[in-house]
Amino acid sequence: MTIDILTLFPNMFNGILNESIIKRAINNNLVKINVIDFRAYSTFSNMQVDDTPYGGGKGMVLMCEPVVRAIEDLKKEDSLVILTCPQGKTYNEKMAFDLKKYKHLIIVCGHYEGYDERIRNFVDLEVSIGDYILTGGEIPAMVIVDSVTRLLEGVIKEESYFEDSFTNNLLDYPTYTKPRDFRGLLVPEVLLSGNHEKIKEYRLQEQIKRTKERRPDLLKRENEK
């Protein structure tokens, strides 16, 4: 997979792309991630990419031309163009699984007061990571990159993510490690039994219990299918 990220602040991505699992995935050629400053597509000598909004109002608005020129330069037949936007579809694990099927993602990060509305005519999907406002689309883009990359073949073991929270509309089960007794807080006996069937049953029951307590909406969503 190739992921092209269009942003005004490419240095914001230095950390996520140079640490941990994503760095290993890049080094192992399992994913290629390009961070592109779309100021390079400005038609102005001063690299301007924003301007005041028609009709008045506060802030600066990203102009159509540099963003669309960047999209058109990068886009291929099998590309999916994503706009990070508070008005988009709320991101979730199912969407991450859907996105991992594409060979090429283009993620457009907004900033300032917003986009020229006409940019929406050149994107395939608008994505929001929650009902709150950030200073720009870089953090949502990082969320998408991280969640999709870890699902790509060879990045991590499949069993690691098939038991994650949200994969089956259940939260993950509790996990423990040494010591067995920490200040009177004990590891459940079933996990020490060596009986894998009982451990599997225990973990499923804990998933259901935890989901009922913390995210009953997930169970309701599953029952409505």
Catalytic residue among 113, 116, 146, 172: 113
Q: How many CA atoms lie within 13 A of 160 on its CB side?
A: 9
Catalytic residue among 65, 116, 164, 172: 164
Q: Is 222 a catalytic residue?
A: no
Q: Is 86 a catalytic residue?
A: yes
Q: How many CA atoms lie within 13 A of 105 on its CB side?
A: 28
Q: Is 164 a catalytic residue?
A: yes
Find residue 125's DSSP bridge partners. 82
User: Which residue in the block uniquely carries the two structure tokens 């969320």?
Assistant: 143
What are the structure tokens assigned to 172, written together? 């993950």
Contact assessment for residue 210 and residue 173, using Cβ atoms and an 8 Å cutoff: yes
Nearest to 172 by CA among 182, 187, 162, 180: 162
For residue 106, the SS3 value is strand
Q: How many CA atoms lie within 13 A of 19 on its CB side?
A: 6
Nearest to 68 by CA among 122, 24, 23: 122
Distance, CA of 74 to CA of 71 (rounded, Å): 5
Q: Is 188 a catalytic residue?
A: no
Alpha helices in the chain (DSSP H): 14-17, 20-27, 64-74, 93-99, 138-149, 158-162, 196-214, 216-223
Catalytic residue among 86, 116, 126, 146: 86
The residues that are catalytic are 86, 113, 150, 164
